[in-house]
Chain A
């Protein structure tokens, strides 16, 4: 039973460059979430998908951020024109939602981004 996987695990980029991260959820899970975690803080919600539909986006998700889940399986998170303030750990989680029951979200290992 494979868990949530994320690639790359680490990314160093220069300010102004674009970066893209990938998340592969647990195979039968229909929901996929993105969170951002800065040093010393708890993760903060960015966005989530149910199957291929993006259902909610946080105000943290500026116009430079875009997320997709084209076939309801893996997801990508792209940051355009990166800024030093984008440096953080980007965490992906997935869950299986049936009806109104909130199931547990299982997290991947994260992608640590450093913008120079």
Chain B
């Protein structure tokens, strides 16, 4: 099973600033990496797939980079609605999809 490790567990950032979240895979997942956003009481929402492609309707301030085992999600100029939990997920190893443990992005 591919283990996905996210860092940091919690990130405190002020509105208007940039946030960078990291995700590491225990073995290469090529570019088959997705990012999800989850707010309290809501189901996860797909943000990024293919490591860097924004899903439909996702604002341009969300960007993803990386390949192999190292990935980042950057959110430029944080808006109030961006404070949430972000999870990465690999889908290279079908059917054994695995998620990271999540990074909580909170208001500083």
A binds B: no
Binding site for B on A (CB under 8 A): none
